Structure formats: C-alpha cells, structure tokens
Amino acid sequence: GDSVTQMEGPVTLSEEAFLTINCTYTATGYPSLFWYVQYPGEGLQLLLKATKADDKGSNKGFEATYRKETTSFHLEKGSVQVSDSAVYFCALRKTGTASKLTFGTGTRLQVTL
Amino acid sequence: EAGVAQSPRYKIIEKRQSVAFWCNPISGHATLYWYQQILGQGPKLLIQFQNNGVVDDSQLPKDRFSAERLKGVDSTLKIQPAKLEDSAVYLCASSLDWSNTDTQYFGPGTRLTVL
C-alpha cells in the first residue's frame, strides 16, 4: 500500500541554520505531495504542496521539490526562526474517490536562539 | 472565511463509556474526513464522506465507531464502547471536492483520553 517515510526527530537547530527534513514515499500512480505543519496547541495547516513531478512547492521560506526519480519530497529552509518550531508532516494523496491523505509519522523541529 | 469547527476540544471518559464528536466543515465543502492521530504518529483516515455518502470507511473499527453526515454538512463521530487504545486526537478536515489537488483544511481536533 501507499506509505510515507520521514526522518525521525527531534531535529534541534540554532536560529538561522539551514533545515532539511527528508521525506520519501511509496505509491502507485502519480500522487500529489504535501507538507503540513502543526504548531503547539494548534491544528494541522497546509505548508506547501506539489501536484506533479518536478514541481516545487514553496511558502514562508520553505520549499520542497517533487522528485519522481527518487520518490522524494524533502523540505528545506535556508534560515530557520524560533517561530518555526513545530511538528512537520509529509503526506501524499492520490486522485479518485478514496482520496485520503497518507501521512508520515511527523518530525519535530526545535529551533533555539 | 470561517475554518473547520470541532467540539468539544477535550474529553475524558472511562473505558466502556460512549462519546461523540461534532464537526462543522467550511461552507460549500463537499468532502469531509475524520482522522485519528495517536500520540507520536501521523493522522490516519477513519472515514471520508462525499456530501452525505460514505466514500471510504475501510479503516473505521465498525464494531465500536460510527459516523454520519446528515444533510451533507455537519458530521458526528461516535465511539461506543470506548477502549483505552482509542485515546487520541480526532481531526476533522474538509475540502471542496475529492480531487488530489484540493487542499484539505483541518479543524483544531478533539483530544480524547480514555481512562
């Protein structure tokens, strides 16, 4: 079945450091790929998405490129802030009547001053 | 635009009791989802509605969980009787339709603790 694998956390970085959170997927067909973020005490929010191979999703300084050849969708940010501390979830979604999101286990990011 | 609303935000019950959660999706969204998020894991789909019809309930434990979406708007998720392993956050999400490019918008969730 479909699955998403994320790097385990927690990831601890100093402010202004470079961030990479790895995400790989297994799926038949051509899924859309998503990164969701969950800030402490809040619900899941869509961070960015890409719907086809080689697409780059970007938002709030974060970006991820849909790499079909490596089945990856790694999240990157050039300079993290304390306010980026949250749990990040990679997810895929296939078209069709059962278009559920399949999530990874999440990666907790902690940014310190 | 108002987001997805859920209530209650927190619920504590004893095992074998029953509990119900309510969700009001974003206006005009035809597709509604209920996810279960166990601590330390990613959300897992329990059931998906398209308007008031069930599209996918393959991972819903039907011996104890039930859900309905009367009139294709609000939805309720019920657990009866609850087990310890049902302790989790229950997330409701909605989207305009079921296309894989549609964004799913999530509510704040209901945190259930079963003692």
CA distance B99 to chain A (A): 5
Distances (CA, A) of A65 to A33, A48, A55, A57, A69: 9, 10, 6, 6, 12
C-alpha distances out from residue B42 to A15, A18, A89, A102, B38, Å: 26, 24, 7, 8, 7
Q: Which of B44, B55, B108 sits opposite A43 (nearest CB)?
A: B108
CA distance B106 to chain A (A): 6
Per-residue confidence (pLDDT) for residue B72, from 0 to 100: 84
Q: For residue A43, give the nearest of B33, B41, B91 by CB distance.
A: B91
Strand B110-114 relative to strand B10-13: parallel, antiparallel, unpaired? parallel
Q: How far, in Å, CA of B43 to CA of B36, rounded?
A: 5
Q: Tell if the CB–CB gap between B103 and A31 is shorter than 8 Å.
A: no
pLDDT digits (tens, 9 = 90+) for A59-99: 999 999 999 999 999 999 999 999 999 999 999 987 665 67
**What are the backbone dihedrals phi and psi of residue B67, each rounded to the nearest 5 degrees, phi first?**
-150, 150
What are the 10-residue block averages of pLDDT along chain B, 115 residues in total? 90 97 94 93 93 91 95 94 97 83 87 97
Place of tokens 């790097």: A7
Q: What are the tens digits of pLDDT across the range A17-65?
A: 999 999 999 998 888 999 999 998 888 999 999 989 999 999 999 999 9
Given a contact cutoff of 8 angstroms between Cβ atoms, the answer to whether B31 and B97 are in contact is: yes
* DSSP SS3 for A82: helix
- How do residues A6-21 score in pLDDT, each as one tens digit? 988 899 999 999 999 9
